[in-house]
Structure 1
Amino acid sequence: MNYQGTGRKHRWATVPLACASLCMGATAAHAQSSVMLGGFLDEGVATYRDSGGARLYQMQDSAIFPTKLFFRGSEDMGGGLRANFSLDSMISLSTGGLDPQSRGAMFENSSWVGLSQTGIGSFRLGRQNDFAFDYYLLGGIDPATGIAGGMLNFRTGSFGADLLGVSGPAQIAGAVAGGPFAPITTNGQITGLGAINWDRVGGKRMSNAIKVVSEEYAGLSVGVMYSLGGTAGDFNNGAGKSAAINFRNGETRAAVVYTEQNYAPVNNGHSGIATLLAGARTRYAHFTVSGMYSEARNTHTGAKIYALAGGIGYDFSPAWNLGGAYTYENGNALLKNVVINQAALQLTYALSRRTSVYAAGVYQRTNGAYVAEIGNIVASGNIQSVFQLGMMHRF
């Protein structure tokens, strides 16, 4: 295997819903203005196995939900107008440092300031996640983070170089800094790119971004976002855009999200990866059901992959929850017609409103076009599994 860096009535199988309320607002006790420190911690011990007989035991950060530390601020200026800001850091509990995804940036996870007006909506400026993260991860539509397996159960694969359209050691190494995927290393040499989180649900930030979201009307809201490329005389170079339609009614949520981000390795920064997501979740009695379709397409080469995912969760009691999820991925000829089947199971026990323990397992099998990959760990064959015992806490 190759390492690449990496109240009890509030059940923790749907922890994104609970965390979303924590992440998006200040407490009622500070109605005029406030600055809040908060975060989410997820750490455990994981065991990876593959069809080649290899095993790996390691501490695993952010297996279910991203571990982060954030500062939120809000000032009430009267008449329903508020000024807001957010500064988020992805951290590693295993090392105490910044998460490798942050690439050394203190507030890589988000850093924005904006205004919101009651009855109209919000306006933000800065580095931000697109709507896939907002509605599918925080909103819990994704069967992975909403039902079972968490971030270990994201749509993933070892086909990142082909999806990005780069080949050969030099191009692949150059794409590590300017692209969205982590490197695959063999004997210390970069030989490929992993494509974990290729549909952006786990968070792919846009720098220099303008984001506008409407207020909800009859449960519906819309949002648009644009990321300025920042290249003088070349407006489209490195630019990005995202748009979404979101619906919410009680326990039912649905969203359609389209995002397009240009990357330096693709057509010299003038093309990139376009993603489309459509999905919904609902709750009936003790059951929670969710399903989604997602796809990613290279806007220059035409390389494309899509996924269908679904999950069912059941509350045995206010504290105990069991969830299962299944994902099917299929790539076109430029991705060697790859087929991936992935299944996840998660048992969660809520010790309190903020603290939970869990056992989660994910199994992946490919058709052999590419080796299996889970959680930025690349297998030596087409089958891989991971089992993790862990603990989550929010504050």
Structure 2
Amino acid sequence: MKKTIPMIAALCAFSSVAHAQSSVTLYGLLDTGLAFNSNSKGASQYSLASGNLQGDRWGFRGVEDLGGGLSAIFRLEGGFAINNGTLGQGGDLFGRKAYVGLASPYGTVTLGRQYDTLGDYVGSFESANAEELVTATEWGSIYGAHPGDMDNLDNSDRINNSIKYASQNYGGFTFGGIYSLGGKAGDFTEDQLYGLGAGYHNGTLSLGVAYEKAKDPNYSVFGTNPNANTSTSTSALNMSSPVYSGFASAGAWQVISAGAAYRIGNATIGGVYSNVAFQNLGSEAGAGLNPKHLTGTASFNIGELNFAYLVTPALQLGVAYTYTRGDSVGSISGATYNQVNLGANYFLSKRTDLYLVGIYEHASGEDSTGKPAVAAIANLSNSSTDVQTAVVVGIRHRF
């Protein structure tokens, strides 16, 4: 027995050395709280909601050193609702991220289900996006996203069948691109998506820009979860928000977006601009996709200004204003959405914090369905009027 124990210890030590440059990490995030919606299709609503500040998740990430500066990497990340244990992203086991690839001194190439360049290079400047906490301006919760998250800066929609390249960091400058194969027999370009992005971070100043275009967005962008409709039946609508659901017949979706943030002491000032275009309306022939028989292009201009201040090392406050304007197209005059986000975070530790977020939205004009625009705070049931308020208080823990 005395000889066996040292032998086992030696084998464990040898195993540790042999795999010193390789690792697999289990990680996750739990977020839940009380939510209030002032008008959920005509009635106020109180609920215990999960994934408020950030979506609940668990996952594995790993790296294997292959020598010569080359490494194999992978990531499997699934979303769920902590309140009832159900899977997120329409029932995908690893619906948030699922990819494998190679990392080298020349950059990283990954293949699978991934975030797009909009989220990678511009999303961190939006107050609602708290994926990587890059600029300290991201505190606004999933409800603080731009109307319907139509520019995908909050990563509501992942990209399937994608190949992505991300450069190394060259003095604060990074760049990359993504391409998604549609996977349709007989048509190489159907449902395809491609995008390019670049960013710059130097400690106090952060900049980002991205361009993305997708064919058949009702299916390629807004229909990438298992519960999405892929047929041309009367239930083929995946673009559910009234902000843009009337444009589901678009043949293409194009987004040009840029963001910036500047830190002054404990304060961070940020801004985002996005131009979103639903092009070639009427191209998708599915029943119910084009009830107003629209043609041409429906465009939106979105601008956000946000401000975050670290009152103490443990307390952060934030405020943001977003203006969204839809241009007229066909018989639709277009709608305007004004939104204010307010938030406070109190950090009990590096991994656990308490939060309070409030969202107010006012809509005017005529929305994509040709009806008087109603307030439609992201990730909540639409209001029955032009005004909607949401308040959420909760706790977030990372592991």
TM-score relative to the length of structure 2: 0.77
Among candidates 93, 98, 114, match of residue 128 of structure 1: 114
Tell me, which stretches of 5 or more residues in structure 1 are unaligned? Answer: 1-29, 157-195
Cα deviation digits, residues 246-268 of structure 1 (max 9, x gap): 11111322110111122375898
Give the equivalent residue in structure 2 for 1:372.
Answer: 375
Change in Cα spacing, 1:70 to 1:387, as seen in structure 2 (3 Å) is same
Give the equivalent residue in structure 2 for 1:315.
Answer: 310
Change in Cα spacing, 1:65 to 1:336, as seen in structure 2 (3 Å) is farther
What is the alpha-carbon root mean square deviation over aligned residues? 2.1
Change in Cα spacing, 1:52 to 1:249, as seen in structure 2 (3 Å) is same
Task: Report 1 or 2 for greater relative contact order, CA contacts < 8 Å, sequence distance ≥ 6.
Answer: 1
Change in Cα spacing, 1:230 to 1:258, as seen in structure 2 (3 Å) is same
Give the equivalent residue in structure 2 for 1:284.
Answer: 264
Give the equivalent residue in structure 2 for 1:47.
Answer: 36
Among candidates 121, 141, 158, match of residue 205 of structure 1: 158
Cα contact 2:321–2:341 (8 A) shared by 1: yes
Give the equivalent residue in structure 1 for 2:279.
Answer: 299
CA displacement at 1:133 relative to structure 2 = 1.9
Amino acid at match of 2:280: H
Alpha-carbon distance in structure 1 between the residues aligned to 2:152 and 2:183: 22
Change in Cα spacing, 1:266 to 1:81, as seen in structure 2 (3 Å) is closer
Give the equivalent residue in structure 2 for 1:388.
Answer: 392
Change in Cα spacing, 1:55 to 1:126, as seen in structure 2 (3 Å) is same
Tell me, which stretches of 5 or more residues in structure 2 are unaligned? Answer: 1-18, 130-136, 221-231, 233-248, 282-296, 367-372
Report percent identity of matched pairs.
Answer: 33
Change in Cα spacing, 1:386 to 1:84, as seen in structure 2 (3 Å) is same
Helix, strand or coil at the partner of 1:103: helix
Helix, strand or coil at the partner of 1:143: coil
Helix, strand or coil at the partner of 2:312: coil
Give the equivalent residue in structure 1 for 2:325.
Answer: 330
TM-score relative to the length of structure 1: 0.77
Cα contact 2:347–2:353 (8 A) shared by 1: yes
Among candidates 184, 188, 196, match of residue 235 of structure 1: 188
CA displacement at 1:232 relative to structure 2 = 2.1
Cα deviation digits, residues 281-339 of structure 1 (max 9, x gap): 12111101110001211121211112100111111110011110100000011363211
Cα contact 1:132–1:200 (8 A) shared by 2: yes
Are 2:68 and 1:88 aligned? no
Amino acid at match of 1:367: S
CA displacement at 1:144 relative to structure 2 = 2.6
Aligned residues: 322
Give the equivalent residue in structure 2 for 1:162.
Answer: none
Whichever of the two has the greater Rg, that structure is 2
Amino acid at match of 1:371: V
Are 2:72 and 1:75 aligned? no
Cα deviation digits, residues 171-202 of structure 1 (max 9, x gap): xxxxxxxxxxxxxxxxxxxxxxxxx2111112
CA displacement at 1:88 relative to structure 2 = 1.1
CA displacement at 1:78 relative to structure 2 = 1.9
Cα contact 1:51–1:383 (8 A) shared by 2: no
Cα deviation digits, residues 17-50 of structure 1 (max 9, x gap): xxxxxxxxxxxxx851111111122211111113
Question: Which segment drifts farther, 140-149 or 235-244?
Answer: 140-149
Q: How does 1:166-185 map to 2 (within 5 A)?
A: none
Are 2:53 and 1:64 aligned? yes
Amino acid at match of 2:355: Y
